[in-house]
Structure 1
Amino acid sequence: MTTTTGTASPAARDAVLTAAVAALTAVALPAVVLLGAASGETVPGTGATAVLTAVCVVQCLPLVVRRSRPVACLLLVAALQVAVVAAASPDDVGARGAAPLLAAYAVGSLLPERRAARVVPAAVLLELVGTLAVTVPTGGVGTGLVGVVGGAVTYVAAALVGAHVATRRRYAELERRRAAEAVAAQEDRVRSAVAEVRAGMARELHDIAAHHLSAMVVQATAASRLVERDPAAAREGLLAIRAQGRRTLEDLRMLVGVLRDPDSAEDGAPVPGLGVLDGLVEQARTLGDDVVVRRAQGTEHGAGLAPLADVTAYRAVQEALSNARQHAPGAPVVVDVARGDERVVVTVENEPAPAPPPDGGPAGRRAGEGVGLLGMRERVQLVGGRLDVGPTPAGGWRVRVELPVDAPAGEHEREQEGER
């Protein structure tokens, strides 16, 4: 990953940092000396300033390995600090650049805490011994010791800051991993839920196919008996058989490849649909739900949907009632079934809950699309329908399903025969 400086590796970034700190030191140290001279303070002469500046610049060079070899970097910086003290000691001047600060920060941020706790005192001790060796002969022990104490504070403080930053980074990385694991787990749950929904649809399709194939056999038997007595009625029966067979084949092709779970408890249960919606509503009422059903005229015993779409409408109402019970317990729910020329529209709308829901979320609202709504959307899309979910202006929740209306049996075939 390239940084804003155009460098890609940590070593390259350290090289850029080293060059920047060295250049800043070469410019800033002489400027500080000039300002001190202007204010009347005791400062080194021109030659001593040049030597001191050169030594401070050299002290910055170990920073080039501060990531790859933080221990060696800190010890080299501490040793060169002794050279800085030696260059400044004739004039009894204390000097300390940015290199010790950066080296100690690297040790604190890159090394384990116990190892850093050993390396930093070793650097302080190295600087102390070297400073005493340099200042004792010149009589500047006091200034040298003050510098060592200031250096010890610098080393410890920088190392502590580095350790704190490293801890924050580790915590952020841990949070990132936990978030990634949570997302992966949610995706697994969604995939499992979708697979379960598809398996349930395959079971229902099996029952639908069995039901219609049985009806086709009965119709074929009746048509065979009418061939000679009433050819027109026999022809109508054959067209109906062909229409039912075509719809069944379309449903089978739609779900090719979906695996069934032969151990499911739903095997053998009757195929649900809008014709038995009242039973679903009565069951919800027994659980304490306040549910009202409004049906358009002609939908009392179904709405003219294809078998698979009829099951989808039933399951959508079932899931919507379950969600209302979970997220808005006690809120009135209205189930509306309307039929147009080409579409059947089923709407389930609940008012806001009279009290906060058990999950602590907004009354009557869902924060996002859970696996139940994902499964509902999967069903609706497979039959060519449309699903809209969302909050109502009053603060409740609405689920609206549009499904295509199936043409009456044999109508399409009769149209084709007429064209011929």
Structure 2
Amino acid sequence: MTTTRPARPAAADALLTAAVAALTAVVLPAVVLLGAASGETVPGTGATAVLTAVCVVQCLPLLVRRSRPVACLLLVALLQVAVVAASPDDVGARGAAPLLAAYAVGSVLPDRSAARAVLAALVLELVGTLAVTVPTGGVVTGLVGVVGGAVTYIAAALVGAHVATRRRYAELERRRAEEAVAAQEDRVRSAVAEVRAGMARELHDIAAHHLSAMVVQATAASRLVERDPAAAREGLLAIRAQGRRTLEDLRMLVGVLRDPDSAEDGAPVPGLGVLDGLLEQARALGDDVVVLRTGSVGATAGLAPLADVTAYRAVQEALSNARQHAPGAPVVVDLARVDDRVVVSVENERAPGPGASASGRRAGAGVGLLGMRERVQLVGGRLDVGPTPAGGWRVRVELPAEDVEQDARQEGER
């Protein structure tokens, strides 16, 4: 009933009532017949039919066991008096309805309210039983039944209270987990939004300052081409210098956004040209790093400044992640030139000792991976991260590159 219950509690209670009533109507006569076959004193056919009918009617209050738990329990206790009255003096009968009603009271009501309801049901059943059994002389049998009923009521109510406590605890844990996931998602979204907003503001400032100056200089140079070629040449040289300053500022921008310390004293943001220094630092920290350079000579040449910084930071982040999640595992850094793209791959093997698995790496991926993806997308590249068939982890970055040899030929022709 718990795993397949209908959406409405009332419908579930109706199904439970029907099932208990049907079982009572079948089981009680069968028990009487088995007792008669074994030679025990049992009610006659008519008395058995009356007793069965009363026990079936006692199941009907279970229809409101969750919506009106106190009323359900009191009605069941009152009908238990009718069951005692319908039973022979030396026969005690008790159906499943009292147990289910007391369980509902314990699972729905607070502890004190449930205790008061159980006490009221016991008093009601005791008074009613005495009123029925005193005239017939079956007081002892009636009191024994009341004692058994007390055990039934109290035990069922305690079980219901325990189950309700477990359910509340499970619900609290579920809500805490949902809140933790929502908070983590909010932090990630906020971090990404902050990075995007900062990059947008800085890029706008750089473009507004440098490019507007270059447009003005280009306009002035175009007017001097025929009248004063020397002045026009000086203007073009100034435009080239301004363009270089723009690229330098863009390199500084990435360093300020991602690693403010790297921009101290105007130091340029490093690129793949100083990758050996980063690898030496990693080896000094105990990392087992191997560098492969596949493809043609100068495979990483031709990267734009922002793409060069992106490749360097991708390697830096991948080495940091490998050190954190797979300490001591060998790491292979592969730099390659494939057509018009530079491919940077950082792959680590499984950690030699206890460490995070691939699934754990995915669960722990946070702002660092998102920041790497933002960098790569900004320069028109592609980022692939995930586990390797051997159980390790790989970060692969593809970045667009210029044709250096063609550019050199064009510069020589000019």
Q: TM range, normalised to the smaller chain?
A: 0.7 to 0.9
Alignment match of 1:93 (pick from 68, 73, 91): 91
Equivalent residue number for residue 397 of structure 2: 401
CA–CA separation in structure 2 for the residues paired with 1:97 and 1:355: 61
| Mapped pair 1:35 → 2:30 | no
Unaligned runs of 5+ in 2: 251-255
Q: Which amino acid aligns with 1:54?
A: A
Cα offset, 1:74, TM superposition = 0.7
Equivalent residue number for residue 72 of structure 1: 71
CA contact under 8 A between 2:301 and 2:404: conserved in structure 1? no
Does the residue aligned with 2:88 lie in a helix, a strand or coil?
Answer: helix
Tell me the alpha carbon deviations over residues 329-384 of structure 1, each in whole angstroms, 9 at most, x when there is no partner.
Answer: 4555443322222110112234555665xxx5359x83533321122123223433
CA contact under 8 A between 1:205 and 1:308: conserved in structure 2? no
| Mapped pair 1:366 → 2:365 | no
Q: Quick one: higher RCO (CA 8 Å, sep 6+), 1 or 2?
A: 1
- Report sequence identity in percent: 82
1:244-255 alignment to 2 at 5 Å? none
Cα offset, 1:222, TM superposition = 11
> Closer, same or farther in 2 for the Cα pair 1:23/1:215, shift >3 Å?
same
CA–CA separation in structure 1 for the residues paired with 2:202 and 2:31: 86
Equivalent residue number for residue 253 of structure 2: none
Equivalent residue number for residue 256 of structure 1: none
CA–CA separation in structure 1 for the residues paired with 2:183 and 2:12: 38
| Mapped pair 1:383 → 2:379 | yes
Does the residue aligned with 1:55 lie in a helix, a strand or coil?
Answer: helix
> Closer, same or farther in 2 for the Cα pair 1:407/1:374, shift >3 Å?
same
> Closer, same or farther in 2 for the Cα pair 1:205/1:355, shift >3 Å?
farther
Cα offset, 1:281, TM superposition = 3.9
Tell me the alpha carbon deviations over residues 53-94 of structure 1, each in whole angstroms, 9 at most, x when there is no partner.
Answer: 22112211211111111111111111111111011134x211
Equivalent residue number for residue 131 of structure 1: 129
CA–CA separation in structure 2 for the residues paired with 1:407 and 1:210: 29
CA–CA separation in structure 2 for the residues paired with 1:200 and 1:348: 28
Q: Pairwise CA RMSD of aligned residues?
A: 4.2
CA–CA separation in structure 2 for the residues paired with 1:64 and 1:201: 64
Equivalent residue number for residue 166 of structure 2: 168
Does the residue aligned with 1:42 lie in a helix, a strand or coil?
Answer: coil
Equivalent residue number for residue 81 of structure 1: 80
Unaligned runs of 5+ in 1: 252-259, 415-420
CA–CA separation in structure 2 for the residues paired with 1:204 and 1:283: 30
Tell me the alpha carbon deviations over residues 295-318 of structure 1, each in whole angstroms, 9 at most, x when there is no partner.
Answer: 466548x62123432332122122
1:301-312 alignment to 2 at 5 Å? 303-312=301-310
Between 313-322 and 18-27, report the one with greater CA deviation. Answer: 18-27
> Closer, same or farther in 2 for the Cα pair 1:201/1:310, shift >3 Å?
farther
CA contact under 8 A between 2:20 and 2:59: conserved in structure 1? yes
Cα offset, 1:173, TM superposition = 0.2
Q: Which amino acid aligns with 2:31?
A: V
CA contact under 8 A between 1:274 and 1:303: conserved in structure 2? no
CA–CA separation in structure 1 for the residues paired with 2:57 and 2:217: 101
TM-score between the two structures when normalised by the length of structure 2: 0.77
CA–CA separation in structure 1 for the residues paired with 2:75 and 2:389: 70
CA contact under 8 A between 1:342 and 1:405: conserved in structure 2? yes
CA–CA separation in structure 1 for the residues paired with 2:184 and 2:404: 43
CA–CA separation in structure 2 for the residues paired with 1:207 and 1:407: 30
Q: Which has the higher helix share?
A: 2
> Closer, same or farther in 2 for the Cα pair 1:271/1:185, shift >3 Å?
same
CA–CA separation in structure 1 for the residues paired with 2:220 and 2:129: 114
Cα offset, 1:187, TM superposition = 0.6
Equivalent residue number for residue 177 of structure 1: 175
> Closer, same or farther in 2 for the Cα pair 1:22/1:307, shift >3 Å?
same
CA–CA separation in structure 2 for the residues paired with 1:32 and 1:400: 74
Does the residue aligned with 2:87 lie in a helix, a strand or coil?
Answer: helix
CA–CA separation in structure 2 for the residues paired with 1:206 and 1:317: 28
> Closer, same or farther in 2 for the Cα pair 1:202/1:408, shift >3 Å?
farther
Q: Which amino acid aligns with 2:342?
A: V
Does the residue aligned with 2:361 lie in a helix, a strand or coil?
Answer: coil
> Closer, same or farther in 2 for the Cα pair 1:348/1:216, shift >3 Å?
farther
| Mapped pair 1:345 → 2:340 | no
Tell me the alpha carbon deviations over residues 254-282 of structure 1, each in whole angstroms, 9 at most, x when there is no partner.
Answer: xxxxxx98xx6777663443334345445
CA contact under 8 A between 2:289 and 2:330: conserved in structure 1? yes
TM-score between the two structures when normalised by the length of structure 1: 0.76
Q: Which amino acid aligns with 2:23?
A: L
Between 122-131 and 101-110, report the one with greater CA deviation. Answer: 122-131
